[in-house]
Amino acid sequence: MKIVAFFGSLLGLIIIAIVCTFFNYKFSMGCSDHLKRAADANTIETAEVELRTALAYMQVNDLTHGHVSIFLKQPKNDIGFWYTNLSQTLAELEIVPDSATQLEKSNVLMKLRETILDETQYGTEVTTPSWVSVHPYNGTIAFLVIILGLICFVSGCMWWADIGGW
């Protein structure tokens, strides 16, 4: 029974990791990669298209409000603020007149870049709330990982003790 519990919970953890990887890939392809492209755009028009694509993904996947935090609501994990900030950035891009000077357009694109990207210890990254790719399943995933992790650990220790590991 200990072996079944150990391998069953281990399999459950592996499945959760695969599901999270799939959600992360889907989010990357539908949203964060487009945000990065918008930040890297050389023209207002290109930035608008990419930002509009990312915002459409957010709307379709209900990433317009809420929080990714489970217990402690941190401002950095507020999806509503993130979505509103990006929507307002798109609105600013849309009002730039065609007659604007190259300097004015460059300033708007620099502001866009500063809004979308952050400098971290790992380099430049797209600003997103943590674990937004699995929202709204954050709580369920955290609960399952804790329960399955405990079952895996306890049953693994018991199995190890039975085979003379200690």
pLDDT in tens, 65-100: 999 988 888 888 999 999 999 999 999 999 999 899
Quote the pLDDT of residue 166.
Answer: 60
Quote the pLDDT of residue 162.
Answer: 82
Quote the pLDDT of residue 73.
Answer: 84
Which residues contact residue 116 at a Cβ distance below 8 angstroms, ignoring those fewer than 6 apart? 35, 36, 38, 39, 86, 89, 126, 127
Q: Which domain holds residue 151?
A: 2-162
Q: What is the pTM of this model?
A: 0.88
Quote the pLDDT of residue 100.
Answer: 92
Cα–Cα distance for residue pair 5/119, rounded to 1 Å: 43
Quote the percentage of the chain above a pLDDT of 90: 83
**Domain tally for the chain?**
1
